[in-house]
Amino acid sequence: MPTAAISLVREHTEHIKPSRSLWVPFELGRPLGAPDDREFQLDVLRSLLGLFERESGPVIEDYPHDSPVTAESDAAWSCVLPLPPLEVTSTPVEALKQSLLQEVGSLSPWYSESVRRLGRSTFGLSGLSADSMPEIAALMADVASGAEPVWPSGLEVENAGAIRFMSDDVKAYYMEAANEQPGSSAPGGTRMWTWFYHETRMGQVLYDLRDRLAAEHAEKTAANGGTPPGPPPGNPIPQRFAVRS
């Protein structure tokens, strides 16, 4: 029987290799995009059903549109969790690393409360646990700054793919912690991601990391006579937030 599926995590789909898959750039739990947007959801389904025109596979096709902004996703909201200022240290890399560790530490009680309340977490794509967040944050700072990284213990592989998986775990950690913030109900969708990418230090580090990995890939391609040394590195920044604030 011919089958087709929607993919929210492209790396998983590339590994499993189902016959036909439509990768969508939406947040986890929303495979059709924004809720209550009938026309947009129908367009996703039409794209999915269109894969049945492919006679052989495996096929992974990228859905070309971001989920629309909704009243819920664009609601006025600010995270009340205090994020620490950047401290003066011996080097910029150490300053960045210390600030990230402080930021992660300030979110830790709220992440733990989220896990306690829900009994689950989406953290773990990298194979690491949330206890490794300080090591992950330090590695992100090293890679983004061009320093020699110290890889967290417990990783099966130490490459760009592992960095992409850790980036997804970082996003889960921040989102779940922010949803437990005291004093207000945090929205999903665009406003939460705006907070993460544009208002946290980790978000800025992911922009630096994206730019550095892309530059290194371009340099290796040029040195190889224009032939890429392999697939391009995974981009931890979705298209909607491709431009820094």
Q: Determine, yes or no, domain membership for 16.
A: yes
pTM for this entry: 0.71
Q: Determine, yes or no, domain membership for 165.
A: yes
Q: Domain check: are 215 and 121 in the same one?
A: yes
Residue that terminates a domain, selected from 62, 83, 102: 62
Q: Domain check: are 107 and 216 in the same one?
A: yes
Helix (DSSP H) and strand (DSSP E) numbers for the chain? 7, 3
Instruction: From 161, 25, 40, select the one nearest 6 (Cα to Cα).
Output: 25
Q: Domain check: are 121 and 11 in the same one?
A: no
pLDDT of residue 232: 78
Instruction: From 65, 118, 72, select the one nearest 239 (Cα to Cα).
Output: 65
Q: Determine, yes or no, domain membership for 75.
A: no
Q: Domain check: are 147 and 189 in the same one?
A: yes
Domain containing 45 equals 5-62
Please say whether the beta carbons of 56 and 17 come within 8 A: no
pLDDT of residue 136: 96
Q: Determine, yes or no, domain membership for 86.
A: no
Q: Domain check: are 201 and 134 in the same one?
A: yes
Using N-to-C axis directions, what is the helix angle for 190-199 and 160-178, rounded to 10°?
120
Please say whether the beta carbons of 206 and 169 come within 8 A: no
pLDDT of residue 13: 87
Using N-to-C axis directions, what is the helix angle for 133-145 and 160-178, rounded to 10°?
120
Cα separation values, 8 from 22, 128, 145, Å: 9, 20, 29
Q: Domain check: are 122 and 222 in the same one?
A: yes
Q: In the chain, at which residue ranges do the beta strands (DSSP E only) sit? A: 5-7, 20-23, 59-62
CA distance 113 to 145: 32
Q: How many domains in the chain?
A: 2
Instruction: From 210, 234, 158, select the one nearest 150 (Cα to Cα).
Output: 158
Q: Determine, yes or no, domain membership for 84.
A: no
* CA 139 distance to own-chain centroid: 16
What number of other Cβ atoms are within 10 A of residue 199's Cβ?
13
Could you tell me the mean pLDDT of each successive run of 10 residues in the chain, 245 residues long?
87 86 83 87 95 87 82 54 58 82 92 94 94 95 90 90 91 90 62 86 92 90 87 79 83
Q: Determine, yes or no, domain membership for 69.
A: no
Please say whether the beta carbons of 81 and 73 come within 8 A: no
Q: Determine, yes or no, domain membership for 200.
A: yes
Q: Domain check: are 52 and 138 in the same one?
A: no
Q: Determine, yes or no, domain membership for 205.
A: yes
Q: Domain check: are 35 and 127 in the same one?
A: no
Q: Domain check: are 132 and 52 in the same one?
A: no
Q: Domain check: are 231 and 114 in the same one?
A: yes
